[in-house]
């Protein structure tokens, strides 16, 4: 099969026997380095624990702290999200300590499948250590979040390091997973991996947040307007926040007077949009929350919102996370028709696609949503984590069958 989209059980009834038999090791950052990848690691490990024995192997010190853009919050307890009791949690890996890598290997060697998320080359040396020791003895799957890290790609020394270490990590892998056909094609074109070796599993919903009554949420946040437009997530230049600000400024005065634009998230590399919002003639109706947001506040902002706006200028794994939170709340989502956004959000009835970098189209979509803002939309079943776990199970069974191996 060419670029398989798993979902069928290749082993028939034998697939039911995987639970409690196979063992899976999932690597990822601990909550010390809290980000979307952390949440993904927790949700994936928890989901897989319903069909296998799972160990979560976590980076305790992922890289020198001050190299992490959000370094001031490293180690702070900002999330109540956690692993289920059935998941073995091993927060042991330090970027500078090979002894800690051996501790991780001692757990990973007992696994039948090892899942390594790829989003940054800063973890590559630890991955290579684990891969070298488990090579050909365990199924090692690379799970792509970002085919290319924009920060690394912008720096020539980091770009060279990422290319070399990334090639080594990929060469020692037994297979690959990504979230969309668009990302698969990017990976094929950039890294020359055969499409047949890349499985497509959609990004699961982040549905762990508690919905709050809208009026209560707005009162808690000090929002008095009738129409609340939300942008949420790390501010980076490719996320198109400046176009959303322009679209908000273009709203008809009667609508704008009853509206509030909330731009919520750390400004990692897009201080220009923050400055633009603060200079805007409509700045009194724009809220800027330039910091990391705790789980409780995530629930409040999404509960208070009437619409989520994701005006990205290109695809990234990140819109999956923040847009999927919006989907779990049943909110209408305005998204750019770019990259894999159409594919990753296309099964959601409440999505409104607009051309990228087009404030006029964004403004029109905001007006359309306003007229039906009380409507809520059903969650796509294919994005529920129990179905994501079954797709991972199918990959494992297929790989084992191809290699003639038994669990």
86-111 residue pLDDT tens: 999 999 999 999 999 999 999 999 99
One domain, residues 54 and 197: yes
**Which residue reads 């800027």 in tokens?**
288
Do 263 and 273 contact (CB within 8 A), yes or no?
yes
Residue 4 in any domain: the answer is no
One domain, residues 358 and 391: no
CATH number for the domain harbouring residue 127: 3.40.50.2000
- Mean pLDDT across 78-91: 92
One domain, residues 100 and 231: no
Of 277, 272, 267, the C-alpha closest to 236 is 267
**pLDDT band, residue 357 (cuts 50/70/90):** very high
Q: Summarize pLDDT for 309-340 with one digit per residue, the tens.
A: 999 987 554 457 899 999 999 999 999 998 77
Domain that holds residue 247: 214-380
Residue 258 belongs to what H/E stretch? none
Do 381 and 2 contact (CB within 8 A), yes or no?
no
**pLDDT band, residue 174 (cuts 50/70/90):** very high
The distance from CA 241 to its chain's CA centroid, rounded to whole angstroms, is 19
Do 395 and 176 contact (CB within 8 A), yes or no?
no
Residue 347 in any domain: the answer is yes
One domain, residues 198 and 243: no
Do 151 and 318 contact (CB within 8 A), yes or no?
no
One domain, residues 288 and 347: yes
DSSP structure class, residue 167:
H
Strand, helix or coil for residue 104: helix
Q: Summarize pLDDT for 235-293 with one digit per residue, the tens.
A: 888 899 999 999 999 999 999 999 999 999 988 778 899 999 999 999 999 999 998 88
One domain, residues 375 and 395: no
Please report which residue ranges of 89-240 form alpha helices under DSSP H.
Answer: 98-108, 124-134, 150-153, 156-171, 181-191, 214-221
Do 355 and 337 contact (CB within 8 A), yes or no?
yes
Residue 6 in any domain: the answer is no
Q: Residue 12 is encoded by which pair of tokens?
A: 């028939």
* Number of domains the chain contains: 2
- Mean pLDDT across 177-182: 91
- pLDDT of residue 84 exceeding 60, the answer is yes
Of 354, 317, 337, the C-alpha closest to 234 is 317
Report in angstroms the alpha-carbon separations of 15 from 20, 349, 401. 11, 32, 12
328 contact partners, CB below 8 Å, separation of at least 6: 205, 206, 207, 209, 379
- Mean pLDDT across 62-89: 83
Quick one: pLDDT at residue 266?
86
One domain, residues 231 and 122: no
- pLDDT of residue 211 exceeding 50, the answer is yes
Secondary structure E strands in 172-264: 175-178, 198-200, 227-232, 259-264
Mean pLDDT check: name the lowest of 2-6, 35-39, 169-173: 2-6
CA 26/CA 328 separation, integer angstroms: 24
One domain, residues 388 and 300: no
One domain, residues 375 and 285: yes
**pLDDT band, residue 9 (cuts 50/70/90):** very low
One domain, residues 253 and 343: yes
Residue 161 in any domain: the answer is yes
CA 234/CA 148 separation, integer angstroms: 17
Strand partners, 309: 334
Of 344, 154, 312, the C-alpha closest to 233 is 312
Quick one: pLDDT at residue 7?
40
One domain, residues 147 and 233: no
Residue 50 in any domain: the answer is yes
Quick one: pLDDT at residue 403?
73
- pLDDT of residue 8 exceeding 50, the answer is no
CA 172/CA 154 separation, integer angstroms: 26
- pLDDT of residue 15 exceeding 90, the answer is no
Strands 198-200 and 227-232: unpaired
Residue 3 in any domain: the answer is no
Quick one: pLDDT at residue 319?
56
Quick one: pLDDT at residue 137?
83
Residue 7 in any domain: the answer is no
Of 331, 353, 346, the C-alpha closest to 227 is 331
Residue 41 class from Cβ within 10 Å (0-12 exposed, 13-18 middle, 19+ buried)? buried
Dihedral sign (CA 219, 220, 222, 226): negative
- pLDDT of residue 1 exceeding 50, the answer is no
Quick one: pLDDT at residue 406?
63
CA 161/CA 349 separation, integer angstroms: 42
- pLDDT of residue 4 exceeding 70, the answer is no
Of 314, 311, 322, 239, the C-alpha closest to 35 is 322
CA 100/CA 94 separation, integer angstroms: 6
One domain, residues 289 and 314: yes
- pLDDT of residue 387 exceeding 90, the answer is yes
- pLDDT of residue 13 exceeding 70, the answer is no
- Mean pLDDT across 204-209: 91
Query: How confident is the prediction for the chain on average, in pLDDT?
Result: 89
Strand partners, 114: 25, 140
Do 330 and 306 contact (CB within 8 A), yes or no?
no
Quick one: pLDDT at residue 344?
85
Quick one: pLDDT at residue 69?
67
Residue 41 in any domain: the answer is yes
Quick one: pLDDT at residue 225?
97
Q: Summarize pLDDT for 130-159 with one digit per residue, the tens.
A: 999 998 888 999 999 878 777 788 788 989
CA dihedral 297, 303, 309, 315 (to 10 degrees): 60
């Amino acid at each position: 099969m060419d670029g398989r989209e798993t979902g069928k059980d290749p082993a028939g009834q034998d697939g039911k026997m995987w639970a409690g038999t196979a063992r899976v090791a999932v690597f990822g950052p601990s909550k010390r380095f809290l980000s979307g990848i952390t949440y993904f690691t927790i949700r994936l490990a928890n989901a897989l624990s319903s069909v296998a024995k799972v160990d979560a192997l976590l980076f305790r010190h992922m890289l020198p702290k001050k190299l992490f853009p959000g370094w001031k919050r490293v180690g702070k307890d900002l999330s109540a999200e956690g692993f289920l009791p059935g998941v073995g949690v091993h927060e042991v890996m330090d970027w500078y300590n090979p002894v800690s890598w051996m501790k991780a290997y001692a757990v990973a060697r007992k696994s039948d499948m090892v899942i390594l998320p790829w989003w940054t080359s800063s973890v590559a040396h630890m991955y290579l250590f684990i891969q070298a020791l488990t090579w050909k003895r365990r199924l090692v799957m690379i799970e792509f979040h970002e085919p290319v890290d924009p920060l690394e790609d912008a720096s020539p020394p980091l770009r060279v390091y990422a290319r070399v270490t990334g090639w080594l990590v990929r060469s020692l892998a037994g297979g690959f997973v990504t979230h969309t056909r668009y990302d698969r094609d990017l990976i094929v074109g950039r890294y020359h991996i055969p499409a047949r070796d890349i499985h497509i599993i959609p990004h699961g919903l982040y549905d762990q947040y508690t919905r709050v009554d809208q009026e209560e949420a707005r009162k808690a946040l000090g929002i008095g307007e009738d129409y609340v437009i939300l942008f949420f997530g790390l501010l980076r230049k490719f996320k198109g926040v400046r176009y959303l600000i322009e679209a908000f400024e273009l709203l008809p005065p009667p609508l704008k007077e009853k509206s509030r634009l909330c731009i919520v998230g750390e400004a990692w590399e897009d201080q220009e949009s923050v400055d633009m919002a603060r200079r805007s003639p409509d700045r009194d109706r724009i809220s800027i929350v330039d910091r990391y947001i705790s789980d409780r506040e995530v629930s409040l902002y999404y509960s208070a919102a009437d619409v989520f706006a994701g005006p990205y200028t290109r695809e990234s794994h990140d819109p999956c996370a923040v847009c999927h939170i919006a989907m779990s709340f049943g909110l209408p989502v305005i998204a750019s028709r770019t990259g894999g956004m159409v594919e990753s959000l296309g099964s959601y009835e409440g999505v409104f696609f607009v051309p990228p970098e087009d404030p006029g189209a964004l403004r029109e979509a905001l007006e359309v949503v306003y007229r039906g803002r009380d409507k809520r939309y059903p969650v796509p079943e294919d994005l529920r984590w129990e179905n994501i776990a079954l797709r991972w199970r199918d990959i494992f069974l297929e790989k084992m069958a191809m290699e003639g191996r038994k669990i």
